[in-house]
């Protein structure tokens, strides 16, 4: 459990909070690139960690992320005209570029000092079908963005989406790195084993999960043993379940500070999945979800599955709001729960959301009673609290400067029970941390992700 003070430190990300200051040291996604589809398109309002901002794509295709308040009389630039490489306030015509510089004051003489009218603007970067922003302290050269593998592959090799979740971002992260819950939350209960496997495939856990007895191993061993190791930019969390004979079935997840996690299921050649959580306030977040294959384009059928809400993706409306949510009990079907599905809720993403939301807008971790299978959660909390406290004392997070080290993979493997996680990682990925950056020209790190 955590003290109430530590729980607040862990979960609060508003301006000036210790955790908010920490997250702002890293690049975070703020929009899907498709939300600003073309030059001079309508701007988009957004809120990130309690800060209201405005995003726009200028005539040259560059994305600006600015304070939406015109410094002249306080009009909101959302109503402005996106024209000729800048946003022009419709109140008195002041115009601002993507860097926040005031480039025109039509109500003042030509030699008027425009510099005093500059507004706050954050650096942006487009990668992986998303617009990323660096919201940290202003500096000449922000740190390199994280080289997550899905951002490095061709567009045809990935699918990205986003969805809203009405709870604190931390309980979403903890849900993702807690791989023990797969024995329950995402399981089916059909008596006929073949029928159960077919249902799992239909329920979009993915055809890959049905191969090689993996579903059976997850179902039959609800108490995996865990090894957790530092990977230089976060944590590698390996959960081992009993497989056949002297073998263990490993499901290996990656957490990368401050807010990225990779799913543990993929075997070589299968689709990989990940999520990034971006706080809006303390009681809601956007979840950016991504599926990719490093070796080939996604098939039309795989894209259709993602679009229809399979794996980490959810069925959402035009505003990225999930169709299943608190207002309709996540489409819970009690008959389905009684006879076929452990939860009665259709969809992996929806099952996760239902349980995470049920913990309350901000989970009270002072009331928890943890078990050995929660070791990954404990390590995550210690890591994030330690980084936030260190930043308070003046020590910047080293991971923010290690963008290329985010090129990590997660996934599943079967190995002899005597092999430790590091050996399993070397067998599965050729690296003790799952680093694949050398494949993309990022260089070798000699087995170290730091």
CATH code where residue 214 lies? 3.90.380.10
Q: 104, 134, 164: which is the final residue of a domain?
A: 134
Could you tell me if 118 and 193 lie in one domain?
no
**Cβ proximity of 364 and 5 under 8 Å:** no
The backbone torsions φ and ψ at residue 285, rounded to the nearest 5 degrees and listed phi first, read -155, 160
Sign of CA dihedral 253, 375, 249, 236: positive
Residue 208 has pLDDT above 90, yes or no: no
Task: Give the largest Cα separation in the chain, rounded.
Answer: 84
Report, as an integer, the average pLDDT of 335-352: 89
**Whole-number Å distance between alpha carbons of 220 and 286:** 34
Residue 183 has pLDDT above 90, yes or no: no
Band of residue 204 on the pLDDT scale cut at 50, 70, 90: very low
Residue 245 has pLDDT above 60, yes or no: yes
Residue 141: per-residue pLDDT? 84
Band of residue 160 on the pLDDT scale cut at 50, 70, 90: very high
Share of residues in the chain with pLDDT > 90 (%) = 83
How is residue 42 annotated by DSSP? Answer: P
22-31 confidence digits (pLDDT tens): 999 999 999 9
Give the CATH number, domain containing residue 90: 2.102.10.10
Residue 206: per-residue pLDDT? 47
Could you tell me if 129 and 156 lie in one domain?
no
Residue 198 has pLDDT above 60, yes or no: no
User: Is position 12 within any domain?
Assistant: no
Could you tell me if 92 and 191 lie in one domain?
no
Q: What SS3 class is residue 329?
A: helix
Alpha-helical regions (H) of 287-359: 300-307, 334-339, 348-358
Report, as an integer, the average pLDDT of 403-417: 96
User: Is position 445 within any domain?
Assistant: no
Residue 180: per-residue pLDDT? 84
**Whole-number Å distance between alpha carbons of 294 and 72:** 49
Could you tell me if 219 and 247 lie in one domain?
yes
Listed residue (423, 407, 406, 403) closest to 415, CA to CA? 423
Band of residue 207 on the pLDDT scale cut at 50, 70, 90: very low
More confident residue, 204 or 137: 137
User: Is position 34 within any domain?
Assistant: yes
Could you tell me if 89 and 219 lie in one domain?
no
CA atoms within 13 A on the CB side of 415: 20
Query: How many domains does the chain fold into?
Result: 2
Band of residue 200 on the pLDDT scale cut at 50, 70, 90: low
Tell me how many degrees the CA angle 215-217-219 measures, rounded to the nearest 5: 70
Could you tell me if 79 and 170 lie in one domain?
no
Residue 323: per-residue pLDDT? 96
DSSP per-residue string spanning 194-247: HHHHHHHHHTTS-HHHHGGGHHHHHHH--S-EEEEEE-SSEEEEEEEEE-STTE
User: Is position 450 within any domain?
Assistant: no
Band of residue 189 on the pLDDT scale cut at 50, 70, 90: confident
- Indicate the Cα dihedral angle 258, 263, 267, 270, nearest 10°: -100
Q: 109, 134, 159: which is the final residue of a domain?
A: 134
Average pLDDT, the chain: 92
Could you tell me if 285 and 186 lie in one domain?
yes
Residue 203 has pLDDT above 50, yes or no: no
**Cβ proximity of 251 and 239 under 8 Å:** yes
Structural domain range at position 195 = 149-440
Could you tell me if 69 and 109 lie in one domain?
yes
**Whole-number Å distance between alpha carbons of 217 and 214:** 5
Listed residue (341, 411, 335) closest to 184, CA to CA? 341
Report, as an integer, the average pLDDT of 181-192: 74
Residue 158: per-residue pLDDT? 98
User: Is position 4 within any domain?
Assistant: no
Listed residue (48, 18, 39) closest to 122, CA to CA? 48
Residue 220: per-residue pLDDT? 86
Could you tell me if 114 and 192 lie in one domain?
no
Contacts of 318 (CB under 8 A, 6+ apart): none
Residue 374 has pLDDT above 60, yes or no: yes
Residue 50 has pLDDT above 90, yes or no: yes
Could you tell me if 353 and 433 lie in one domain?
yes
* Residues forming a β-bridge with 420: none
**Whole-number Å distance between alpha carbons of 370 and 270:** 33
Tell me how many degrees the CA angle 239-402-231 measures, rounded to the nearest 5: 20
**Cβ proximity of 428 and 413 under 8 Å:** yes
CA atoms within 13 A on the CB side of 365: 22
Report, as an integer, the average pLDDT of 419-427: 96
Report, as an integer, the average pLDDT of 153-165: 98
User: Is position 267 within any domain?
Assistant: yes
Residue 202: per-residue pLDDT? 45
User: Is position 10 within any domain?
Assistant: no
Least confident of 99-103, 201-205, 318-322, 410-414: 201-205
Would you state the structure tokens that stand for residue 251, as one six-digit string?
């499901």
Residue 201: per-residue pLDDT? 52
User: Is position 256 within any domain?
Assistant: yes
Could you tell me if 284 and 155 lie in one domain?
yes
Could you tell me if 240 and 319 lie in one domain?
yes
**Whole-number Å distance between alpha carbons of 15 and 67:** 14
127-149 confidence digits (pLDDT tens): 999 999 999 998 878 999 999 99
Reported pTM? 0.93
282-291 confidence digits (pLDDT tens): 999 999 999 9
């Amino acid at each position: 459990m955590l003290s109430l003070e530590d729980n607040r430190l862990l979960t609060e990300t508003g301006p000036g909070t210790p955790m908010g200051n920490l997250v702002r040291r890293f690049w975070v996604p703020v929009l899907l690139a498709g939300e600003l589809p073309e030059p001079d398109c309508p701007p988009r309002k957004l809120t990130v960690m309690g800060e209201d901002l405005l995003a726009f794509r200028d005539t040259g295709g560059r994305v600006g992320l600015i304070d939406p308040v015109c410094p002249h009389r306080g009009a909101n630039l959302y109503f402005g005209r996106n024209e000729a490489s800048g946003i022009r306030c419709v109140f008195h015509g002041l115009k601002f570029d993507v860097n926040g510089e005031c480039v025109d004051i039509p109500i003042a003489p030509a030699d008027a000092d425009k510099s005093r009218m500059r507004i706050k603007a954050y650096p942006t970067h487009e990668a992986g079908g998303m617009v990323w922003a660096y919201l940290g302290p202003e500096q000449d050269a922000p740190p390199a963005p994280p080289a997550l593998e899905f951002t490095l592959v061709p567009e045809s090799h990935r699918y990205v989406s986003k969805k809203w979740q009405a709870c604190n971002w931390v309980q979403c992260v903890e849900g993702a790195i807690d791989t023990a819950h797969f024995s329950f939350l995402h399981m089916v209960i059909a008596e006929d084993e073949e029928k159960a496997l077919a249902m799992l495939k239909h329920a979009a856990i993915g055809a890959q999960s049905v191969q090689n007895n993996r579903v059976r191993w997850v179902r039959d061993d609800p108490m995996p043993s865990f090894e957790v190791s530092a990977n230089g930019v976060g944590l590698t969390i390996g959960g081992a379940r009993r497989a056949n004979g002297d073998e263990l079935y490993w499901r290996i997840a990656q957490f990368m500070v401050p807010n990225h996690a990779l799913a543990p299921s993929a075997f070589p050649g299968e689709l990989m999945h990940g999520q990034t959580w971006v706080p809006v306030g303390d009681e809601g977040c956007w979840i950016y979800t991504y599926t990719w294959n490093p070796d080939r384009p996604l098939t039309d059928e795989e894209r259709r599955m993602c679009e229809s809400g399979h794996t980490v993706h959810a069925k959402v409306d035009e505003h990225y709001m999930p169709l299943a949510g608190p207002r309709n009990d996540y489409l819970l079907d009690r008959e389905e729960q009684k006879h076929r599905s452990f939860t009665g809720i259709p969809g992996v993403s929806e099952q996760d959301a239902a349980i995470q939301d049920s913990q309350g807008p901000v989970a009270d971790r002072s009331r928890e009673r943890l078990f050995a299978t929660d070791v990954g959660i404990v390590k995550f909390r210690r890591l994030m609290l330690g980084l936030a406290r260190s930043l308070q004392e003046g020590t910047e997070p080293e991971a923010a400067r290690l963008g290329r080290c985010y090129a990590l993979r997660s996934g599943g493997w079967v190995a002899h029970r005597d092999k430790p996680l590091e050996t399993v990682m070397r067998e599965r990925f050729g690296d003790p941390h799952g680093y694949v950056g050398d494949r993309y020209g990022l260089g070798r790190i000699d087995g170290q992700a730091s």
